[in-house]
Homo-oligomer: A and B are copies of this chain.
Amino acid sequence: AERIFVGKRTGLHEVPQDQITNIIIEKAKEGGKVVRLKGGDPFIFGRGGEEAEALVAEGIEFEIVPGVSSSVAAPMYAGIPLTHRDYAASVAIITGHRAGDAEKPVDWVKIANAVDTMVILMGVESLEGIVSKLLAGGINPQKPVAMIESGTLPQQRTLIATLGTIVAEAQKQQIKPPSVILIGEVATLGRKLAWFKQPL
């Protein structure tokens, strides 16, 4: 089997999405079986929909296998259930990374008012902007927030704070990407249910 690396942690430049799609199509047309391997779930901010559209346009048959999104796995490893009978009956998953995607702006305040739990992916760099929008929009500064850095990995760490304190705390603890940000009452369960023991 030929192996073509298109991942994000090369330290070199990333392979752009259209180039990835082109490689898949080209290799499929050469007659081989192509496995497009991705971390996470391809249909939750994974651009799997775009890749599937390109395959359909070329008449190439495919199947898709669901994966475990970091939006689910990172909170779980931090002991934070996305829903809970006592605290949360709805969850929204949103990307904090808006670059090149301005046609679909996210209304953070509306989402915060509508659902019990918000899970934000790729949001570390936008944290300050998101939090100030939420506070300016009248969301309670006491609302619990968790940041799970390197979720599920041995070096995972969790910061639990509030909407009012998270920006300063994240700076103090030097929380870095990749981190999942979770806003909502369930975040506090991370104190009680933290089960994943980081190696010393």
Contacts and interface: CB of A to CB of B under 8 A. Distances in A.
Contacts of A73: 66
A98 B90 CA distance: 11
The quantity of this chain's copies bound in the complex is 2
A135 B159 CA distance: 41
A144 interface: no
A101 B79 CA distance: 22
Given A43-B75, A52-B195, A114 B89 contact: no
A141 interface: no
25 contacts: A43-B76, A43-B80, A43-B82, A49-B84, A49-B85, A50-B85, A50-B86, A52-B193, A52-B195, A61-B195, A69-B72, A83-B95, A85-B101, A87-B104, A89-B94, A89-B104, A90-B94, A90-B95, A91-B93, A92-B93, A93-B93, A107-B114, A111-B114, A113-B114, A115-B115
Interface of A: 41-45, 47-50, 52-53, 56, 61-64, 66-69, 72-73, 75-77, 79-95, 98, 101, 103-107, 110-111, 113-116, 186, 189, 192-193, 195-196
